[in-house]
Each structure stands twice: as C-alpha cells, then as structure tokens.
Structure 1
Amino acid sequence: MDVSKGQAQPVVTVDSYTRGIVGPSNSMLGPVKNGGRIIAGTPPGCWGPMITPKFQGGHEVSQPVAVEGADIGDAVALKIRQVDVTSLATSSGVMSFVDGRYLGDPFVAKLCPSCGTVSPASHIEGIGDDAVHCDVCGAEVNAFRFSNGYVIVLDKDNGVSLTVGKDVAERLAANAREMSALPGASEQHSILSLARADIAGLAAHMQPFLGNIGTTPSRDLPDSHNAGDFGGFLVGAPHQYAMTQEELDRHKTDGHMDTNSVRAGAILICPVKVPGAGVYMGDMHAQQGNGEVAGHATDVSGIVELDVEVIKNLALDGPILLQRLDDLPPMARPMNKTQKAAVQRLAARYGQREIEDNGPITFIGSGKTLNDATDNGLERAAKVTGLPVAEILNRATITGSIEISRLPGVVRVTFLCPMPILERLGIAHLVREQYQLND
C-alpha cells in the first residue's frame, strides 16, 4: 500500500479508478487535510463493469484518497455535499448468469468460453446481448443476461426519468459511451450497448445517492463484495480473492451499502482499517426505493463532493449513518418545540423528573440474509454504544426503525441514542449539527 506522504491539500480531485478492486494494493492520492474536500467523477457501477470481463469486481470506484491524521482504530466522517448525475441515460434490470463463463463468481472471475482466458480484455461489436467479444479469440464473452431489463432516460434538472422502447434503446446504444457520460479514464463497457427494453413508458422520480462509498479494506477484495452479503461469495471461492468468513469479517469496511439515504446532506462515519483511511466512492444510482430488491438499480456517472473529518479513537466495524432529517424514519425524528413542551407537561403530570437528551443514529448491518444483517446491525450498535442488544431492540421499536437497504442482506438500524453516549464516541457535535438540536 502506497500512502501519499506529501503535504496535505485542502481539496483533492479524483479522476482515476481501480478496475474493480479495493484494498491495500491501490496507491492513495492526497493526503487531503482533515476538514478538507474530495471531489470525484464516478463511472457507473454494476452492469457496465459486470459486462466488462477484465474487471474483477462489480463496480468501478474511485482511486482512494488518504486523509491527514487518520490512523487505524479511528473513524472518518464523510459529509456528503453534492451528488450530481451526469449520465443522460442508463440501463438496468434483474440479472441471470451464463454458465461456463466464470469461475465460481461472475462478478470476479469471468472466463472466455472459447479460449479459456480468465478476465480477458474485450470490445463491443454491434448491439444486444451478444455485443461483448473477447480480444483474444473474438468469441462472445458476456457472463450476464437480463431476465428483465430496461433503458431509462434521465432529466436531472427536473428530477424525472422515463423508460423507453426498443427503437429508442437501440438509437441510444449507437452512442452508448456519450449517453452514459463515462469519464475519460473509465474502462468499462456501457450497458446501453445491450439495448434491453422490456419496460417502456414508465416514469419515475430521480433521487441520486451513492451505492458504494467508504474507506479501504485491510485486504484486497472486489469492490462490490465489500459487504457481508456479497462478501459471502468470497468464502471458499475458487479464485485469488477467496478468504475465510473470519478474514472477511476482519478486513471488510461495508462500503457497498446500496442505501438510498447515503445522498447529499447525509454524513457517513466509516472505520479506518488502513493508515490514511483511503476514502473511495462510486456506484451512483439515479433512484432507488428502500431495498434494492431487483438486485440492481439505475447506475449512472456523476460528480461527488464531500468533506472529511477524522474522529479519533472511534473503532468501528462498519459504517454509522447520520441520515438527512427528511430521510429519517418518522419515529426517529427529533421533536419540535411544541412536542417537547408537551413531553415536559406529561413528565410533570406523573412526577417523572428526567427526560433523556438524545439524537438519531443509524447503524449499517450486513450479512448473508436480512436476518443476519439485522443481527449484525444490532450487535454493532450494542458494541459501539455499550447499550444491551435488548435495549437497542426497544429503542429501534419505539424511536426508530429497521429498514431494508439491499437484498439479500444490508439493513439500517435507527434509534434515538442518549447524548452522553454520543459525546463519549466523539460524534455528538455531528449529530447536533445534522439535526439542529441546539435550537
């Protein structure tokens, strides 16, 4: 791992990518100052890298940036200021695998069925399912197919989008790279080249967010597998990124969350597992509901700006999210002045002297299933806060929620946490600022 030792910069701009791998083998840009800003142009995740055989992960995330003063055992708060879509169109849908074209995992170890080359270079010929061809032998080599797919055009200025029919999809495919707005250094094929259009004329809101953002794991692994659910495919895998469950749990940082509230205005607090933290980002989505239930959403190119703040001696296993106020589940939203006054009267009526000072907090949990992910989120919350799991369950029930971020296994565990605990963790100032709790 090459961590930049130069003078810390107030702003670091990123326009280079890691071809599907996150981990110590990637050199870091920067360092950026503690309190500084990172600006990155991000290519689409998922389908573009998936149909590009040389990629050994399902995304194309930005080269990591070192953060001044971030040591192993600290945390880094990423204050997301801007998430802007630059793609004019994209394509997505439910996936299926093509047998014989991968070794154990089609996201990681693609295989040419004709010449046997693993992760071959490739090129696009024509339009449709058979457009991806091996550079070594010329055979069609795509390891994925749509079981149901769509092409969608985007109007970011008005926040709306529309799926299109086959004729429009094929016209877009003729200028796929331009319509995708792929950054100059991006190496992926555009998924628009497949022109799959099973749903036409469906209008949808846009609300962009980042599906993969965080800090560098302490061991190289595919970027799409930096989580407990997709990461499970690495356990005992027949390729070079195989690891045990214990190794996966120790090294991953759960950057791949597909959590739709990781958007402009949110604060994501991430573990530091390598010197300098190595902040990376990618897999921007134009929209997604609660739960990426189709397996994939609308992956787009975009521009991300975020500010960084080191939180010393906050050892985390996975991310903490301070969602925007309007993204919080209703039961976790802080009370207004009128409600607070009513609570004080209620306390006085029954002789209750203490009223807890608290604030909203969300723990990300991941695992092979939603039940596993929920257990993981609860255990992380209990470990970090010192509260019993049973109390976390009660708090999440009456002052929060458990929400799906992705199938098969990423969830959000949200609850109101006592302010003295947030003070001890070193994040009370972030919570107060995020939710205007000093008013």
Structure 2
Amino acid sequence: MAQQEVQQELTVDRFTLGLVGPEQEWAGTVADGGTIETHTPPACWGPMITPEFRGGHEVTRPIRVENAEVGDAIALTINSIDVTSIATSTGSMRERDGAFGDDPFVDHKCPNCGTKWPESLVEGTGEEAIKCAECGANASSFGFEYGYTVAFDDERTVGLTVDEAGADELANRADEAMALPENSRQHPILLYRPSEMPGTLGHLRPFIGNVGTTPPIEIPDSHNAGDFGQFLIGADHDWGLPDEDALARRTDGHMDINAVREGAVLICPVKIDGGGVYVGDMHANQGDGELSLHTTDVSGRAEFDVTVIKGLDIDGPLLLPNEEDLPYIGKPYSAQERERGRQLAAEYDVDDVAEVGPLQVVGSGATINDATDNAFERAGTLLDMTEGEVRARCTFTGGVEIGRLPGVVQLTMLAPMERLEERGIADLVREQYDL
C-alpha cells in the first residue's frame, strides 16, 4: 500500500469484495483530527446472496490515518448516521446445499458447474433469481428460513413489514429502493421478496455493525470477530486459520453492537501502520443479541471525526456510548449523588470519593461466556486490574450486555479516572459525558 496525500476531509466511495487486511487497496489518507465521510451499501444479506463475494459484508476500502502506528489507537467520533434505503428484506437464513465449501459466507461455488466465486446475474425476482453467469444455475448460497420485507417512513423513524404485494413491488425496483451506491457490487436482498409477519411496526434507530481497523492478516470482513472467526479455524479455503492464537490477531470490527450509533465514540486498536479504518454493515435497527443473526441491512451515509491516541496499545475496541445507552448503574453520577457520596465518606471516615467515568470494553469469543472472559482480560490489561477487581467493579457499577449471539459483549464499568488518565483517554471520557 503506497503512501497518499493527507486530506482533512476524506470521502470514501469504494468497497472491498468481502475482505479486510493489509493487502487491500487504500481508500486514501485522512489527517489526525480530520473527518471521514462514507456512503456504504448494505452488508449481510446482499453480499451473502452475491457469489462473487469472499465475505459476508461489503465494507469500505481501508483508510490510512495520519500518525497512526502499531500500538496506537484511533478514536472514531460518530457525528451522523443517515439511512438512504427506503426498504430492506431480512430474516433468519437457510443455507443452500452444494453452493459453498467449508463456509457459506466465504468459499462460494456454483452448485451446478462448480465455478468458484462465480460471476452472477439477475433474472426476475425471488430466491431463484441469482444465476451463475457460466451455466445459468441458481448460484446463491442462502435463502430465507423465515423472512420479511420492511418499508421505512420518510424520516426513518419506523418501519412496517409489508405483505406479498408490497414485497413484490419493492423487488421490482430493488436497486433504487435500497439506494445502492454507484460502486457497490452486491445484488439487493429485496429481490428475494419475503413477506412473512406483515403489518408489524418497528422502531428504527440506525447504527453501524462493522466498523474498526484493519487486522494484520487478511480475513473475511464478516469474520473479524471472535465468534464468526471460529469458522476460519481449520477451514480449507484461502483464509483458514490454524488455531485460536491466529484468530487473536483480529480487531473485532464486526461487533453488531446497537450502541455504535450517532453520538458514540469508538476507540479502535491499531495493528497495522496507518490503522486502516473501514466502515460498513449499517443497520436500521436491531435488538440486543441480533437473535436472527441478521437484521435490517441498509445503505447509509455516516460521518466520523478521527483522532489518534498514541501508545494506548489495546487488543480490541473500547466504546463510549451515548449516556442513555449505558446501564443505569453505569451512568455518570449527578451532582446530588456525588454530594450524598461525600456525606457518606465523612460519616464513615473514607478519605475521598473516587472520580470515575463510564467505559465499555468489547469482548468476543466462541460463546457469550468466552466473549465475557475476553472482555475481563482486556479490561484488566487496560486498567491494570485483577480479574477479581474487574468483576467487582462491573457488578457494582456496570454490567455486561450482549451485542451479538453467539459471542460479542460490552462490559461496562465506572472506571477510576486516574487509571484513564494514565492510559490517555480521560479527556475523551470527560468530554463524552460532560464530567
């Protein structure tokens, strides 16, 4: 990857074919303190049904950040997220026999002629619409076990599931309805026209499901996490990994944490020089856990401010969510609560009431328990605490929340500001929560 001119504001409009890693072509270089703007296509379902893709998402090419070196971190302040799709289809998935090798998200092949990652074209609508360009057979690896189509209001505040006629109408203008960016290479999932559970109204609150920094090895973008990454261990395809130690080089960009939304600050590890920030997998909404494994994938615009934190040397992401997204006992103290704390300190001869600030440590692993253990380890290393102290502080002043089943979590605590000062992130925490 060659060096590029540093830009204060960088707009990214090119995407990968489902891979992240140091071999991917740079999108450009943004200044430390600069701004990134993106308009990303949907991830998950669109790339999943497009057999040319090597991973389950369509994310931006990596962005070099000025001054970012291995061992640093990059803070991404999410200024805005705007959904541009007017509808999408989603649901729980069904794999198609013969359309893949080890992994239906990665090593696609035509089940008829055997062509690997075949080019494809669209003929009509429905689950048979994606055809192998070589032989004309249905080449998609996925269908719906249970699927539905959602139309959004103009303000993108609610979505309504539509019936068969509505799904068919949207399928016949799928590219337009999904607002696919010019350089997107996926087939829009609206083509499948699922129509189960019509008339169901849902709240919308968009967020970004896969955002972070480039790992030092090339892996499928949807597998850049400790749970989905398990499918790479022992796999025979080009991105197979030998063991869990190799997977530890991930950067956990694929979090599907619904608090990674407008107003949040995401702090990402730097594991290659320049960081390689990438963005994708915007969702219109999602409940905790992403229980169908998929949700409302959409195209959308996002803007981030970028700041390098020298020498932070974290293994995985840290999140400073909006205050309203914190668990109740993990919120900053009010002036009244702090005064009552000082009164208790005086009554019981406690020297001082420690200054603390909210912090979430992201963990991932094969299961929720493994992900929580990973978050304990990361938090202990970051804050120089034993696991016992981490567990105690998170029990008394925080908790654990599920980003995605089977294995992504947010571990919340009110962390001592003196520890955050030592790690160089206290000012970010103070600014985020007006401390």
Q: CA deviation at 1:29?
A: 2.6
Aligned position for 1:174: 172
Aligned equivalents of 1:4 and 1:64: distance in 2? Answer: 13
Change beyond 3 A, Cα 1:245–1:110:
same
1:344 is aligned, of 339, 342, 361, to 342
Secondary structure of the corresponding residue to residue 278 of structure 1: strand
Q: Within the alignment, does 1:357 sit opposite 2:352 as a pair?
A: no
1:361 partner letter: L
Secondary structure of the corresponding residue to residue 38 of structure 2: strand
Aligned position for 2:260: 262
Change beyond 3 A, Cα 1:248–1:150:
farther
User: Is the Cα contact below 8 Å between 2:63 and 2:278 reproduced in 1?
Assistant: yes
Q: CA deviation at 1:389?
A: 0.8
Aligned position for 2:197: 199
User: Is the Cα contact below 8 Å between 2:40 and 2:60 reproduced in 1?
Assistant: yes
Aligned equivalents of 2:156 and 2:63: distance in 1? Answer: 33
Aligned position for 2:306: 308
Aligned position for 1:384: 382
Identity %: 50
1:50 is aligned, of 38, 43, 48, to 48
Aligned equivalents of 2:11 and 2:356: distance in 1? Answer: 37
Aligned equivalents of 2:138 and 2:12: distance in 1? Answer: 33
Q: Which runs of 5+ in 1 are unaligned?
A: none
Q: CA deviation at 1:246?
A: 4.0
Residues 234-291 of structure 1 show CA distances to partners (whole Å, capped at 9, x for unaligned) of 0010100001224533421000000000001000000001110011000000001111
User: Is the Cα contact below 8 Å between 2:32 and 2:307 reproduced in 1?
Assistant: yes
Q: Within the alignment, does 1:331 sit opposite 2:329 as a pair?
A: yes
User: Is the Cα contact below 8 Å between 1:360 and 1:416 reproduced in 2?
Assistant: yes
Aligned equivalents of 1:4 and 1:66: distance in 2? Answer: 9
2:370 partner letter: D
Aligned equivalents of 1:3 and 1:426: distance in 2? Answer: 30
Residues 387-431 of structure 1 show CA distances to partners (whole Å, capped at 9, x for unaligned) of 111111111111001000001110010001111110111100000
Aligned equivalents of 1:292 and 1:208: distance in 2? Answer: 14
Aligned equivalents of 2:215 and 2:39: distance in 1? Answer: 21
Change beyond 3 A, Cα 1:317–1:161:
same
Aligned equivalents of 1:352 and 1:117: distance in 2? Answer: 71
Residues 155-205 of structure 1 show CA distances to partners (whole Å, capped at 9, x for unaligned) of 251511101011110010000000000000000000000001111000011
Aligned equivalents of 2:147 and 2:134: distance in 1? Answer: 29
Q: Within the alignment, does 1:67 sit opposite 2:65 as a pair?
A: yes
Alignment of 1:30-429 (within 5 A): 30-155=28-153, 157=155, 159-429=157-427
Aligned equivalents of 2:116 and 2:416: distance in 1? Answer: 52
2:4 partner letter: K
User: Is the Cα contact below 8 Å between 2:229 and 2:247 reproduced in 1?
Assistant: no
Secondary structure of the corresponding residue to residue 34 of structure 1: strand
Greater mean alpha carbon deviation, residues 92-101 or residues 260-269: 92-101
Residues 195-248 of structure 1 show CA distances to partners (whole Å, capped at 9, x for unaligned) of 011110000111000000000110110000000000010001010000122453
Aligned equivalents of 1:82 and 1:315: distance in 2? Answer: 27
Aligned position for 1:5: 4
1:337 partner letter: A
For normalisation by structure 1, the TM-score amounts to 0.98
User: Is the Cα contact below 8 Å between 1:73 and 1:271 reproduced in 2?
Assistant: yes
Q: Which runs of 5+ in 2 are unaligned?
A: none
Secondary structure of the corresponding residue to residue 308 of structure 2: strand
1:343 partner letter: G
Aligned equivalents of 2:357 and 2:2: distance in 1? Answer: 36
1:240 partner letter: D
User: Is the Cα contact below 8 Å between 1:363 and 1:412 reproduced in 2?
Assistant: yes
User: Is the Cα contact below 8 Å between 2:83 and 2:156 reproduced in 1?
Assistant: no
Aligned equivalents of 2:177 and 2:27: distance in 1? Answer: 29
Secondary structure of the corresponding residue to residue 169 of structure 1: helix
1:90 partner letter: T
1:4 partner letter: Q
Residues 358-398 of structure 1 show CA distances to partners (whole Å, capped at 9, x for unaligned) of 10100000001111111111111111111111111111111
Structure 1 moving runs of 4+ over 6 Å: none
Matched residue pairs, number?
A: 435
1:84 partner letter: D
Residues 36-84 of structure 1 show CA distances to partners (whole Å, capped at 9, x for unaligned) of 0000100001000000000010000011110000001100000110111
User: Is the Cα contact below 8 Å between 2:32 and 2:65 reproduced in 1?
Assistant: yes
Aligned position for 2:429: 431
Aligned equivalents of 1:93 and 1:54: distance in 2? Answer: 22
For normalisation by structure 2, the TM-score amounts to 0.99
Residues 124-159 of structure 1 show CA distances to partners (whole Å, capped at 9, x for unaligned) of 111111111100110111111111110001125151
Residues 74-120 of structure 1 show CA distances to partners (whole Å, capped at 9, x for unaligned) of 00000110111000000000012112110100100111011100110
User: Is the Cα contact below 8 Å between 2:209 and 2:281 reproduced in 1?
Assistant: yes
Secondary structure of the corresponding residue to residue 84 of structure 1: strand
User: Is the Cα contact below 8 Å between 2:209 and 2:255 reproduced in 1?
Assistant: yes
User: Is the Cα contact below 8 Å between 1:3 and 1:275 reproduced in 2?
Assistant: no
Aligned equivalents of 1:332 and 1:38: distance in 2? Answer: 30
Aligned equivalents of 1:312 and 1:113: distance in 2? Answer: 49
Aligned equivalents of 1:5 and 1:406: distance in 2? Answer: 36
Indicate the RMSD between aligned Cα atoms, in angstroms. Answer: 0.9
